[in-house]
Structure 1
């Protein structure tokens, strides 16, 4: 590995912190105050997710952040610097948007459930990051916005995740006005699952993670994949697809064990198969 590559890899490692305990992997954005989704930050998060994909010790992933901001979206200083390139930044912009899209899809298609723990502001692509997670728990101090319209840049990519979480009218309200909404409004919109006092945020998120981590990892993988796939289908196709998934799930050893344990009134022993 070249010295440059080693430097980039080491920098990426410093941008996120990882902690694994009891099947729960906490990935923390650790570049305050903005925790911006620079190319390096997206690579660091993506690397953590990819490593966790095939790690049997990881059952659930929590995305959290250091500082007062959860994530300020793309690094505008990085974007501005790229305008000095011969192509006025086009190649860099394409790379940034493509890598961002890949990261968000990696969360949705990840075999392990991903929970966003939001203590502060999640703006633009930071809001997109929250919307891409399977669950989101927010502090009462958390806020959300897609303010690109205020600087002449419509939040088109955050829009993709946003419109898959909230109604069209609510999504357009956020996208057209660029205004910030509080955590309670975000819950009413369907962007987050729960809103809790700041002092209880970590505790509540861990409780959710522990409850999920206690389930069969095979069942979680099957269910998460099926959830997102059927959501894009017609009602008839969704039922046909889900019925097939259900049959295959019933054939799994973990389903046999789970049903047997329920009937016998004992705790199941998951094998992940």
Structure 2
């Protein structure tokens, strides 16, 4: 990729942010390229997530794509434009760091999917905490078709769908339809196009109505317990619940339930 192209990319609004009702909406904004994840775009997404993580006013995040699709994965023209181990390592390390930023973000993240979500775009859907898709969208990890196995997308994919289903996607590279993605657990639900926004906002508003402190510790505990054995998972989550019970929002929530009123969260 030329210096001129990089400079032009960095001057674009690669990620658009709009905040409303305590919900941050991030839009991947390379519509002509089906929002392919250039190095600059991945860096921009990560920076915006870091800002959101520090913003106590934000309770939930929506990630969507501009134009005709959610995200087509890595920018293949960029990958062929600079053939070097160091550049490739930078691209894939940056992608992994972006995905981890989604997982490590205190706020829940919801993918709003339309069109296609392929390769690293499918990985991003799998990485988000929740995902809603229009029923005509399609998903794939098609790297095998071009000689580049979807190894990093495999990480998120294999943690969301059954093993045989993940291997089917990875080994064949074939597209799956939105209803199948919902059946396999890649997304939470597939809805008609005209219902997509309402379905996504339904999740976002539900999440935003909860204690941000409780969601933060619960999200962290969820991902941590996935990677340990059963007894260690119970040990860890018992400690988490003990600490949670000592939080002011737990006291407020339980008292509000007993007193039959709505809780007033303090975020601590």
> TM-score band (shorter)?
over 0.9
State the partner residue of 2:53: 53
Where do residues 182-221 of structure 1 align in structure 2 (5 Å cutoff)?
182-221=177-216
Where does the alignment leave 5 or more consecutive residues of structure 2 unmatched?
none
RMSD: 1.4
Distance 2:220 2:17 in 1: 25
In the TM superposition, what whole-angstrom CA distance separates every residue of 1:79-100 from its partner, at most 9, and x where no partner exists? 11102xxxxx211100000000
Distance 2:191 2:20 in 1: 23
Residue 11 of structure 1: CA displacement? 3.0
Q: What SS is found at the alignment partner of 1:71?
A: coil
Residue 212 of structure 1: CA displacement? 0.5
Residue 105 of structure 1: CA displacement? 0.7
Q: Does 1:135 align with 2:114?
A: no
In the TM superposition, what whole-angstrom CA distance separates every residue of 1:142-200 from its partner, at most 9, and x where no partner exists? 11000000011100000011000011100000000000000011111110000000011
Distance 1:18 1:141 in 2: 26
Which one of 257, 263, 271 corresponds to residue 258 of structure 2? 263
State the partner residue of 2:176: 181
Runs of 4 or more above 2 Å deviation: 7-13
TM-score for the superposition, normalised by structure 1? 0.94
Q: 1:123 touches 1:144 (CA, 8 Å); kept in 2? A: yes
Cα distance change, pair 35–234 in 1 and its aligned pair in 2 (3 A): same
TM-score for the superposition, normalised by structure 2? 0.95
Residue 16 of structure 1: CA displacement? 1.2
Distance 2:251 2:129 in 1: 26
In the TM superposition, what whole-angstrom CA distance separates every residue of 1:180-235 from its partner, at most 9, and x where no partner exists? 00001111111000000001101110111001000000000010000001111111
Give the aligned length: 263
Q: 2:9 touches 2:40 (CA, 8 Å); kept in 1? A: no
Distance 1:245 1:141 in 2: 40
Distance 2:175 2:9 in 1: 35
Residue 109 of structure 1: CA displacement? 1.1
State the partner residue of 2:100: 105
Q: Does 1:81 align with 2:81?
A: yes
Q: What SS is found at the alignment partner of 1:271?
A: coil
Q: Does 1:17 align with 2:27?
A: no
Distance 2:11 2:189 in 1: 31
Distance 2:48 2:57 in 1: 14
Where does the alignment leave 5 or more consecutive residues of structure 1 unmatched?
84-88
